[in-house]
Amino acid sequence: MKKQTICSFLAAMICISATAQLQTGENFAVTNTDAGKVRGYVHNAIFTYKGIPYAEAKRFELPQKPKPWAGIRSSLSYGPVAPLMDPTTSVQDESEFIFHHDWGYTNEDCMRVNVWTPGITDGKKRPVMFWIHGGGFTTGSSQELPSYDGENLAKKGDVVVVSINHRLNILGFLDLSAYGDKYKHSANLSIIDIKAALEWVKTNIENFGGDPNNVTIFGQSGGGAKVNTLMAMPAAKGLFHKAINQSGSFRTNMLEKATTQALTAEVLKALNLQPNQADSLQSVPFARLSEAGKKAIRVVAEQLKAAGTPVSGFGLSWGPSRDGEDLPYQLFSKEAFELSKNIPLLVGTVKNEFMPSLFQGMSNAPLDKITEFIKKQQGDKADAYLAAVKKAYPADTKPTDLIDVDVMFRPGAVVQANEKSSLKSGAPVYMYLFTYQSPVMDGKYKAVHCMELAFAFNNINRCEEMSGGTREAYALADKMSFAWINFAKKGNPNHAGLPTWPAYTTANTATMHLDNKCDVKPQLDKELFALVAPR
């Protein structure tokens, strides 16, 4: 080999080594937390830390700071996820291909935080984007979907991305407040865990290159509902400064104490425990506790139905409640909106969410079958429904488009935007509607629930099964993730790659339609929502 060739080869090897995609080591990427040192790794120039404890707790009791550890804690892989009342034991092949879940492993000691950051010792204070996973209030985790990975977003925006696991379902929401002072906060421990994670961010995030005074909470579906819940929580005020709610306004009211205490009484009954034996619940095996919780939900749901008491959202389930302590106001009350008055909000949904054609096995149904379905569903309002859908989306051509327009998630987002934007001297609201139609499986999945996640996180490369991985998908992800980043930085999603995005008001109802061609339009589905609104 010639001398010049050898030199060139060695220079190339040195260059590759200096810019290695993955860098690790026993004493590499070490930084401090208030409980001890942690060690991560660097991938694609982003420092990554996973599974760091932010709190610990006895069952049904308040989270406490984690016990300090000696030495350097390895933080290279995700920590445990919250136990699920209905563990996954089988999946549908096609939809699992689309969503590509990572279920993780469960443990009640699940309070863990993950961090992605461009730098830890460069003196920068970067905006913090604090992600809250979906799954309602009963399932999910920070690793459940590949779109949740924070590396690409951190790199693109020079921001710090944080995600968390926290207690869920009966472990996070069983109201034992009537059975002893140590359970005073038990009805909303799941949300208190999230607050504890935000407190961890406030204390520690500077060690990860983040700014504790510029924190944006964002979440989708149940995560968006948790965002709304934090906005109604007085004790969380000051821990975050902006909020993004993606498909999370489906629940406008929380349970009241009479219902949460009735659920607890039924749980005790199902386990053959007397009220003075409530402490036994702390040691009941989770599987038994879970079954008792399911039975209690069924019993109380029937009682509410018999009494004519409506339950909003997806029916009675474990979730936050107005407990008079940690959550004193209903989510969409004047008091709650006033509490978060100065928090800029980016809110929106995807066009098709839980679309009937997918869940009714009608993806390829012809027009006559679709029309028959609408008549059966809408009765004498069928013609008005068809006219309203066509007015809202005049360019749609597929027969199934007539039934797949979301009327479950978006109405709540519109209500929230209207109420918040009407506050005198309040922070701005920005509304979006994600209308991009995925080409995967011949377009069967359209803009299904969760479709926008890969775009917001700039993770098309990790989510090609859902997004299609097309050139158009990458282009939209570039625009959309930059909007999320700009909002986190300054409370405004505008940037040169999008048309001017006005703040939403009840007068302009300005809504950014995110698609291959992005456009701002006024609300076009008012008649549709009025038609399907519960009477």
d(CA 518, CA 497): 9
**Which DSSP symbol is given to 371?**
H
Other beta carbons within 10 angstroms of residue 361's beta carbon come to: 9
- Please pick, among 449, 465, 467, 481, the residue that the annotation labels catalytic: 449
Residues in contact with 418: Cβ distance below 8 Å, sequence separation at least 6, in sequence order: 506
Q: Which residues of 266-287 are buried (b: 16+ CB within 10 A; e: fewer)?
A: bbbebbebeeeebeebeeeebe
221 is catalytic: yes
- Please spell the DSSP secondary structure of 378-440, one letter per residue: HGGGHHHHHHHHHHH-TT--STTHHHHS--SSHHHHHHHHHHHHTSTTPPPEEEEEE-----H
Distance CA 473, CA 455 (A): 8
Number of neighbours of residue 69 by Cβ within 10 angstroms: 13
Angle at 345 between CA 489 and CA 201, to 5 degrees: 55
Among 221, 321, 357, 421, the active-site one is 221
Nearest residue to 353 via CA among 314, 385, 316: 314
- Residue given tokens 């060695």 in the structure block: 10
Residue 449 is among the residues annotated as catalytic for this protein: yes
Q: Which residues are 210's β-sheet partners?
A: 126
Cα–Cα separations (whole angstroms), residue 106 to 191, 286, 491: 19, 11, 36
Q: 352, 446 in Cβ contact below 8 A?
A: yes
Q: Is 353 a catalytic residue?
A: yes
Among 151, 353, 419, 465, the active-site one is 353
CB-CB contact of 255 with 231 (8 Å): no
User: One-letter amino acid identity for 400?
Assistant: T
Q: Which two tokens stand for residue 165?
A: 């696991």
Q: Which residues are catalytic?
A: 221, 353, 449
